[in-house]
Amino acid sequence: MTIKTEIELMYKRRIDQKEIQKMPSDTTIDKHARNLEKLHYHITGKNPTIIGQMKWMEDMPPEEVILQMKSMPGRNSETIGLSTQQAYMFSILVGIRTNDFTNFHQNDLYGFVWDIVNNKNGFKKELNDHKNNKENVYVPNYQHVSDIVSKYLRDGSDLDFKIILKIYTTYPFRLEVADLQYLRTLHQYKASMKEGNYIVKKSRPRNTFFFSFNDYKTKDVYGERKIDIQDKELINLLIEKTKNMKGHENLFGENGLLRNTMSKRITYFFEKEGLPNVNPTNLTKMVIKHHYDKMDTGLRETQEKLASQRGHSVGTQLMIYLTN
């Protein structure tokens, strides 16, 4: 039994009791498990194997647990930011429910955390203000990033990473790119369950591809996202990558690529090139801003295309991702 398996079983019990209608994505469950493991190690200095070892959920004062959580080191800052704090608090709620499925509401930490994440005039407002504050938004310079990526596409040796860089400097995608599987024919695509994320090769026009995203944050709202690939440089990279593939393989590595691993590698790559804090999220902002800067006529069409490719509404795009 692993922590991830424990969480999966908890969600299955919730489905059986008709509390929820479907399982969270495998990525979401994995994230909860890793958050709880990291928090436990931060508090105790030990690696847990089951949630039952996380005695701090019951024995430690709730205020102390949250203080410990807030003191965790951030990726690019001394401590974790507000969005990461929210993610950890959601994972704490999941962990408590997993640990005591029936009496979770009697746990002091559960009530304490629930009140924090749902306080419209407290943490929730602070988080929303932070997200909407354009002064906190960092957008990399498009030309600088393009020059760095062009040099790597010309001189680099890792074909997978070339494809990743080209995708993230062309499309406003989230981390679902790490999950891409290759489907060699439209027949394979039509026979698939449409539950994963795919690169699909088309027969006409010859040597062309499209993305099919089915496992992403807002899938329940926007459904499958199909995006034709028109960038010739990316098409040539994909032709080289898939020439000996039969279909149904992971695009990046035999066993696939973890989203967090991909994000860290992108960030590290640009850090070595003298551009800190360039991650997939900031590259998305860069791509969107680059298109907005070029807009004149056809504004609405381009807005809707970018929002559709990202998998959110135009309003969300304008509120969060567009910067002055």
Partners of residue 108 on adjacent β-strands: none
The whole-number pLDDT of residue 312 equals 59
Q: Quick one: which of 171, 228, 182, 189 has its CA closest to 205?
A: 228
Q: From the CB of residue 264, how many other CB atoms can be counted at a distance below 10 Å?
A: 13
The whole-number pLDDT of residue 49 equals 94
- Phi, psi of 173, deg, nearest 5: -95, 155
Q: Describe the chain by its helix, strand, coil percentages, rounded to 5.
A: 60, 5, 35
Helix (H, G, I), strand (E, B) or coil at 201: strand
Angle at CA of residue 316, ends 314 and 321, nearest 5°: 100
The whole-number pLDDT of residue 272 equals 95
The whole-number pLDDT of residue 301 equals 65
The whole-number pLDDT of residue 304 equals 62
Across the chain, which has 324 residues, the per-10-residue mean pLDDT values are 96 95 89 95 95 95 95 82 91 96 95 92 82 67 96 97 98 94 96 93 92 88 92 97 96 92 96 93 90 66 67 53 45
Residue 273 and residue 182: Cα distance in Å, rounded? 31
Q: How far separated are the first and last CA of the chain, in Å rounded?
A: 50
Residue 189 and residue 279: Cα distance in Å, rounded? 30
The whole-number pLDDT of residue 320 equals 46
Residue 85 and residue 82: Cα distance in Å, rounded? 5
Partners of residue 226 on adjacent β-strands: 212
The whole-number pLDDT of residue 6 equals 97
Query: Side-chain half-sphere of 311: how many Cα atoms within 13 Å?
Result: 21
Structure tokens at 31: 């994230």
Return the biggest CA–CA distance within the chain: 63
